[in-house]
Amino acid sequence: MNRRFFLGAAAAALTRLPAQSPDSRIDVLLNEPIGTIAPEIYGHFVENLGGVVYDGIWVGERSSIPNVNGLRKQLVDALRRVKPGMIRWPGGCFADQYDWRDGVGPRDKRPRRTNFWVDASEWPKDARRDGPQRYDPNQVGTLEFTRFCKLVGAQPYFAANLRSLGAQDFWRWVEYCNSPANTTTLAEQRAADGQPEPLGVRYWGVGNESWGCGGNFDPEDYATEFNRNPA
């Protein structure tokens, strides 16, 4: 509903109200505090659609485009001014094919995977080409994304794959991100990837769009899968 339509409808409604006493009044308190709005409400969303990730967030460390360790500097600076409370990744529908293990370890050794959502009719046709939109190079993984969030001042929000991975893959991702330094094998892997200290990821999503591209679950089936995961 646009503003003009809303104001017109409100004015029409007022004309139908019974007459009020001459003493009736409305006070508009412009500076009256009502309550604190949680900053997480003003979040953003990142998914491998079109050029959102590759050529958008990620340009690479060797790019002529100004960047911060491969992350597009212009975008980092702009989002820092917006002050997003959190940023969700890797999707969306893309989350339901994503294996977080593909996005850890040395970037030059990470596997390239087919993006099965690239042919979705909702996507622009120019996104359906043989590039990173179709074959994800996994250059942006867990540490790159959390680094991006830290640079812009946002909390990372990870959407776990409930469609094609099991519950254990979910909690292993939590362990990779949050187990204290030198406590687990995955903590040691995180350190080898350049991040000894835990990432402290607070927000996790269990699956995505369970009624549609997340798997067309019946309510009972989804409840069973949900209960298997460390929500």
Q: Pairing state of beta strands 203-206 and 67-68?
A: unpaired
Secondary structure (DSSP) of 116-151 = TTTT-TTS-GGG-SSSTTTEE---S-HHHHHHHHHH
User: How does residue 15 score in pLDDT terms, banded at 50, 70 and 90?
Assistant: low
Which pLDDT score, from 0 to 100, does residue 5 have? 65
The more confidently predicted of residues 80 and 121 is 80
Question: Residue 87 pairs with which residues in a beta bridge?
Answer: 44, 156
Which pLDDT score, from 0 to 100, does residue 35 have? 84
**CB burial class (10 A; 0-12, 13-18, 19+) of residue 149?**
buried
Average pLDDT over residues 54-58: 94
Which pLDDT score, from 0 to 100, does residue 230 have? 65
Average pLDDT over residues 111-122: 81
In this structure, the number of other CB atoms found within 10 A of the CB of residue 97 comes to 20
pLDDT reading at 52 higher than 70: yes
The more confidently predicted of residues 130 and 174 is 174
pLDDT digits (tens, 9 = 90+) for 165-186: 888 999 999 999 999 999 999 9
Which pLDDT score, from 0 to 100, does residue 33 have? 83
pLDDT reading at 145 higher than 70: yes
pLDDT reading at 231 higher than 60: no
Which pLDDT score, from 0 to 100, does residue 111 have? 97
pLDDT reading at 11 higher than 70: no
Place of tokens 């699956």: 207
The more confidently predicted of residues 126 and 59 is 59
Which pLDDT score, from 0 to 100, does residue 131 have? 76
Q: How far apart are CA 189 and CA 195, in angstroms?
A: 9
Average pLDDT over residues 41-70: 93
Q: How far apart are CA 86 and CA 152, in angstroms?
A: 10
Domains of the chain by range and CATH?
Answer: 39-227 (3.20.20.80)
End-to-end C-alpha distance for the chain, whole angstroms:
35
Residue 203 φ/ψ, nearest 5 degrees = -115, 125
* pTM for this entry: 0.80
Residue 89 φ/ψ, nearest 5 degrees = -160, 150
